Structure 1
Amino acid sequence: MKRVAIVHHSAHGHTEHIARQIRAGCDEVNGVVATLLRAEELAANPAPLSDFDGIVLGSPTYLGGVSGPFKCFMDATGGMWRRQSLKGKLAAGFTVSSLPAGDKQSTLLSLFVFSMQHGMLWIGNPILPEQHLGVPYDEAANRLGSWSGLMAQADHASPADAFAPGDAKTARLFGQNFAHALLRLSAERRSLTAVADSAEVSE
């Protein structure tokens, strides 16, 4: 069973709502189980992240970047960086803002650079915008057209009512894609290990 950590900060519940949709998508894939982890709790001890095979990072976009609590979590992983504890793990990112743009790309870039510094393998968002296929805009997957990661827009309402249906759909598909990619990566690594072991025996 491959394990996915969905690390997020959510001040008002909106980012957590999307995190839960991503978890649901991951859990729909056999062989993968996802766990929600709060960034502010991991800031005190991020070491448990080394037990996961894949890590999805999520923060609201505040003033063009990650939130303060999420940045504290990122900074707390310095020791893990020195030990290369996260090297080779699959990573992805998502963010939420109250505006369609909101400079969310800056937040995703911050999550990407963080993952690269840890030696993780970044996977983007391959979902085609469904509005081009005739699906109504609010119901369309990847309606905001983000490729480097998942973007969602939250209105000023309770988390359950704040999102267009398309954003929730995108999050579930994003989780499914991440889980499938993690399984493919794991299978390829097993295959390479088997080839290497066979070569050693032949020698």
Structure 2
Amino acid sequence: MSTTVAIIYHSGYGHTARVAEAVARGVRSTANTQSLLIRVEDIDQHWQTLEQVDAIVFGSPTYMGSVSAQFKAFMDATSHQVFAKGGLWANKVAAGFTNAASRSGDKLATLQQLSIFAAQHAMHWINLGLPPGHNSSTTTEDVMNRDSYFLGVGAQSNFDEGPELAPKHPDIMTAEHLGARVALVTHELAEGRRNLSLRRVA
């Protein structure tokens, strides 16, 4: 059974786009799974397509403790395009990622905003599923989840480095992990639904 995971994102300077691409690679690393990268600038071309996908991963840079204005405009548009039309995204799998120059930068607020957004659409939120990374005297930054997020990916990009250098490799690997995790859970949910349907028929 094939499944499709869409990644909807905004990237102001290219750094968050790298995270989105890493999530997509993680999705494709799972057998029988396709990824679909969608910039919020192009969302009007994809509303009908999004009705058919099995999962949606949301991604935005953190600007002033929130998603970017461009991503918020997309969120607001879903009230008419998705919610008011009968909850078209209900029971799809969801997850999220963000990126900022600062280690904290209130990125958790953005991940919470994304998870609440998914909840309003009655979606199933998938957490990162990784232990804390660099949190002791014996660990280094060269590990996944180096800044110890749980709700989603919180990547960090130095403000004086372009997207060819930032985010660092551990954050890219963390994003790939999230993509693979979302793909796996999406398959598990789809298979479970199929089996339940077969039992009801039997």
| TM-score, scaled relative to structure 1 | 0.92
For residues 44 and 76 of structure 1, what CA distance do their matches in structure 2 show?
Answer: 13
Change in 2 beyond 3 A, CA 1:53/1:138: same
Structure 2 CA distance for partners of 1:162 and 1:37, relative to 1, 3 Å: same
Does structure 2 retain, via aligned residues, the 8 Å contact 1:43–1:76? no
Q: Do structure 1's residue 32 and structure 2's residue 33 form an aligned pair?
A: yes
The change in CA–CA distance for 1:25 and 1:151 in structure 2 (over 3 A counts) is same
Q: Which of 183, 186, 201 is equivalent to 2:187?
A: 183
Name the CA distance, whole Å, in 2 between partners of 1:149 and 1:19.
13
What are the ranges of 5 or more consecutive residues in structure 2 without an aligned counterpart? none
Distance 1:183 1:115, change over 3 A: same
Q: Shift in Å at residue 34 of structure 1?
A: 0.6
8 Å Cα contact 1:40-1:72 kept in structure 2: no
> Which has more helix, going by share of residues?
1
Asked if 1:96 corresponds to 2:99, the answer is yes
Question: Offset of 1:169 from its aligned partner?
Answer: 1.0
CA contact (8 A) 2:27 2:183 kept: yes
Q: How does 1:30-179 map to 2 (within 5 A)?
A: 30-42=31-43, 46-79=47-80, 80-82=82-84, 83-131=86-134, 137-156=140-159, 157-179=161-183
- Secondary structure at 1:61 match in 2: strand
Shift of 1:78: 1.3
Count of residue pairs brought into register by the alignment:
198
What's the TM-score, normalizing by structure 2?
A: 0.92
Q: Kindly state the Cα deviation for residue 109 of structure 1 after the two structures are TM-superposed.
A: 0.9
| Counterpart in the other structure of 1:195 | 199
| Aligned partners of 1:95 and 1:104 also within 8 Å | yes
| Residues in 2 aligned to 1:191 and 1:8: alpha-carbon distance in whole angstroms | 33
Distance 1:9 1:135, change over 3 A: farther
